[in-house]
Structure 1
Amino acid sequence: MTDDHLADRPADSQVPFFFHSYGQTHSGSAGSRAPDNRQEQFHDLLSQFVLQLTTHDATTPVGFLDQHIPLGGEWEKALKEALATCRVFVPVYSPQYCVSTWCGMEFDGFVRRQTEHRRSEPYTVSAIVPVLWTSPGRFTLPEAVQPFQYDGPDLDQDYQLMGLRGLMEAGKWRVYRRTVWRIAERIVDVATAARLRPCDVSLFDDLRNVFAPRTQGDS
């Protein structure tokens, strides 16, 4: 039996369906970065749900997360290749995200890619699906990300007040799972509507941190 709804979904692919962009926390020693197990927990659940909603080849990662780059891998090269080929960009808003240089560069790269795509597809929807990690009252969004909406009537009020990490720490696991499912649905719907084409990685040769405050003389 043919499902016309699924027939409209993006086909199986070796490229990541979504790019998980997040701000890393730091340990107490000399500002070194510490793995965020909660981010990985969210990534794994989101990946499971996206797989259930698509025909993506489960033998390859459905989402890109920099913690999953193999030891010894060329980190920056792998990151840029994922940025150039993923279907949807998922920025996870938190205090750390809003001040991260690399997150600002990742955001710049994906916006450049969308701009390039729209030269021939001017009516394409945005393929950016923001996620709240903590309460939106605990950080100030950089100007570059403000046009991209992170809330909506289909998302639980507790999520919009607390973010995913807040739901986790409050033990609101049913709300958390329901919210991640709805985020997965939004990712798949956006990917289907945008049909964003891959770009050449050279587009990212001179990425800049678009979260940094502009100084006088910036264009």
Structure 2
Amino acid sequence: MSGPYESHSVRQAPYFFLSYAHVPIARGDPGGPDRHLVEFYEQLFDLIMQLTTVDAGGTQAFLDRRIPLGAEWEKHLKHALATCQVFVPVYSPRYFESEWCGKEWDAFERRQQHHRKSRPHTVTPIVPVWWLSPDRVRVPAVARRLQHTHVDLGGEYQQKGLFGLMAEGRRTRYRQAVWGIAQAIVEVAETARLDPCDVALFEDLRNVFQEDQ
């Protein structure tokens, strides 16, 4: 059966790349603290399948937890960054403190710059997601230039973030926000049509978040 759990192949180009920071696993938490993020990912995947004609077996969303055991993790990750259509960073207090998340951002930024050499007016194919309230997240300069306010996602989302809506049991508001995010991803993907790039472009990646400190 195809879908978000299917084995990842280096030949597959993900529709979107979910960039997020792992939360450390605490004792007595069998599901793991990232289970809420995985739930969001799966819902987003399902909605995008409804909104598009992409084939689940050939074009998947990328989540690093889905890389098979024993696989070359960095190779899979860089291939996804070189071929995905939209970059979806999940803003949380840990996100901008993560070295690897900063490198993922650098990789996608390099790809955009390479693409704009031939198509300079391409829209930015990045759709940020607030996981928690913006008041709890320090956003570095490299990310502040993006549009972060999405009026159509609802005021409660802007105030609390997706996880905040989950934690407070605001399931209807949460689903509305996820639906809006899915639509934004599809709109950006269909407008930008970002060209794939050679992973050689990702040599010596930098933590661009650290450079802003």
Asked if 1 retains the 8 angstrom alpha-carbon contact of 2:141 and 2:212, the reply is no
Shift of 1:28: 5.4
Q: Percent identity?
A: 52
Asked if 2 retains the 8 angstrom alpha-carbon contact of 1:50 and 1:62, the reply is no
- The structure-2 alpha-carbon separation of the partners of 1:40 and 1:61, relative to structure 1 and needing over 3 Å to count, comes to farther
Question: What CA distance in whole angstroms lies between the structure 2 residues aligned with 1:168 and 1:66?
Answer: 22
Question: How does the TM-score come out when normalised to structure 1?
Answer: 0.87
- The structure-2 alpha-carbon separation of the partners of 1:75 and 1:53, relative to structure 1 and needing over 3 Å to count, comes to same
Select 2:37's aligned residue among 39, 43, 56. Answer: 39
Question: How does the TM-score come out when normalised to structure 2?
Answer: 0.89
Q: Which runs of 5+ in 2 are unaligned?
A: 1-10
**Counterpart residue number, 2:87:** 89
Question: What CA distance in whole angstroms lies between the structure 1 residues aligned with 2:145 and 2:120?
Answer: 17
Q: Which runs of 5+ in 1 are unaligned?
A: 1-12
Select 1:59's aligned residue among 42, 57, 60. Answer: 57
Question: What CA distance in whole angstroms lies between the structure 1 residues aligned with 2:103 and 2:40?
Answer: 23
**Counterpart residue number, 2:178:** 180
Q: Deviations over 1:106-149 (max 9, x none)?
A: 00000110000000001100001000000000021011111111
Shift of 1:160: 0.4
Asked if 2 retains the 8 angstrom alpha-carbon contact of 1:129 and 1:187, the reply is yes
Shift of 1:59: 2.0
Computed over aligned residues only, the root mean square deviation of the Cα atoms, in angstroms, reads 1.6
Asked if 1 retains the 8 angstrom alpha-carbon contact of 2:25 and 2:33, the reply is no
Which of the pair has more CA radius of gyration?
1
> Residue 44 of structure 2: SS of its match in structure 1?
helix
Q: Count residues with an aligned counterpart.
A: 199
Return 35-44 or 96-105, whichever deviates more.
Answer: 35-44
Select 2:154's aligned residue among 138, 156, 161. Answer: 156
Q: Does 1:210 align with 2:204?
A: no
Select 2:145's aligned residue among 139, 144, 147. Answer: 147
Shift of 1:152: 1.9
